[in-house]
Amino acid sequence: MCPQVYSAVTRQPLISESAFLEGYQIYSLKDRVYPGIKSATKAVVKGVVSIADEKILDNLDWFEGSEYERKVVEVKLESGELIKCFCYILKNTHHHIIDSKEWDFQHFLDVNLEDYLS
């Protein structure tokens, strides 16, 4: 999640650390400007981890909606340390909305972010 979206949803700044989620891939979704993550062999998602209290998690749960489930996953920090954290994974019942196009985070920032936040 980009800092601007995180801050809009939680009303808190995103203080994070880079992390890698192995065994998952990020996908574009049909008719949506945001992505979905699902399990995929030999794939890695680069993202961030941050500390979140229950209020922040409640806000994120509301924002992510019914297409995603909050799951405990293990990620690797840049230091090599493995930690457990929550990640929003696209529910199996929503895999039909996965698009064949690759997710392009930079395109989202350049083209869609401003409208997405309004």
What is the reported pLDDT for 49? 96
Task: Identify whether 64 is a catalytic site residue.
Answer: yes
Q: Which residue type occupies 44?
A: V
Residue indicated by tokens 């995603």: 68
Query: Which residue in the list 17, 22, 64, 69 is annotated as catalytic?
Result: 64
How much of the chain is helix, strand and coil, in % rounded to 5?
Answer: 35, 45, 20
What is the total count of domains within the chain?
A: 1
Residue 52 belongs to domain with CATH number: 3.10.490.10
- If you average pLDDT over residues 23-46, what whole number do you get? 95
Instruction: For the chain, give the percent of residues with pLDDT over 70.
Output: 100
Give the structural domain span for 19: 3-104
Asked whether residue 113 is domain-assigned, the answer is no
pTM confidence score:
0.92
Is residue 17 domain-resident? yes
